[in-house]
């Protein structure tokens, strides 16, 4: 073995040893974060954190503790993502039932996307413009207004 291989083996052994010693500490941090992701109520999250830390401590081995905590973190993240998507769907249903809010939302989105000065509009900006034109056309038809076709092309 050359000198580099010996040094590499020594450094790799130190890193692995250190990571194994850090694993229980990191597992507790991940469990705490997962409890706060999963439960909105801070008191319930704190109680669950203590229960999960006790479960982590009862696991044999340092890496098993870390992998268990990663599993809890994945479950907590999944709960938060499902909640976020549910809120998006409910918001979309609310907006679709109120055309005035759709127009306002599209205008706000247009202002946010066009706030950055670019030479050419992005596909998102173009789709927002088309959607806003469609909403305005639908409103004018509801009011019985007649518009020339050139007025919508701006």
Residue 20 neighbours by CB under 8 Å, 6+ apart: 62, 63
Residue-range definition of the domain harbouring residue 137: 98-146
- CA atoms of 134 and 123, how far apart (whole Å): 17
Q: In angstroms, what CA-CA distances link 50 with 21, 45, 59, 75, 80?
A: 21, 9, 15, 17, 20
Instruction: Assess whether 83 and 142 both reside in one domain.
Output: no
Domain end: 46, 67, 90, which one? Answer: 90
- CA atoms of 147 and 134, how far apart (whole Å): 13
Q: What are the structure tokens assigned to 65, written together?
A: 């503790």
pLDDT for 55 equals 93
pLDDT for 9 equals 83
Whole-structure pTM value:
0.53
Q: What is the chain's length?
A: 154
- CA atoms of 102 and 134, how far apart (whole Å): 11
pLDDT for 85 equals 82
Instruction: Assess whether 131 and 78 both reside in one domain.
Output: no
Domain end: 69, 90, 111, which one? Answer: 90
Instruction: Assess whether 39 and 82 both reside in one domain.
Output: yes
- CA atoms of 118 and 85, how far apart (whole Å): 31
Task: Look at residue 153 and tell me if it is in a domain.
Answer: no
> Is residue 76 within 8 Å of residue 35, measured between CB atoms?
yes
Q: For the chain (length 154 residues), average pLDDT per consecutive 10?
A: 81 77 88 91 92 93 89 91 80 62 62 54 65 73 57 46
């Amino acid at each position: 073995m050359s000198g580099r291989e010996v040094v590499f083996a020594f450094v790799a052994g130190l890193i692995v040893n250190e990571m194994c010693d850090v694993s229980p500490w990191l597992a507790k941090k991940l469990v705490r974060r997962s409890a706060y992701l999963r439960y909105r109520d801070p008191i319930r999250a704190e109680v669950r954190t203590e229960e999960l830390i006790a479960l982590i401590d009862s696991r044999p081995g340092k890496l098993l503790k870390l992998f268990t905590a990663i599993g809890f973190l994945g479950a907590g993240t999944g709960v938060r993502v499902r909640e976020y998507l549910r809120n998006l769907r409910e918001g979309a249903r609310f907006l679709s039932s109120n055309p005035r809010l759709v127009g306002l939302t599209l205008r706000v989105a247009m202002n946010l996307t066009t706030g950055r000065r670019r030479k050419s509009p992005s596909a998102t900006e173009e789709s927002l413009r088309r959607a806003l034109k469609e909403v305005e056309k639908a409103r004018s038809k509801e009011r019985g207004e007649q518009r020339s076709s050139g007025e919508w092309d701006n």
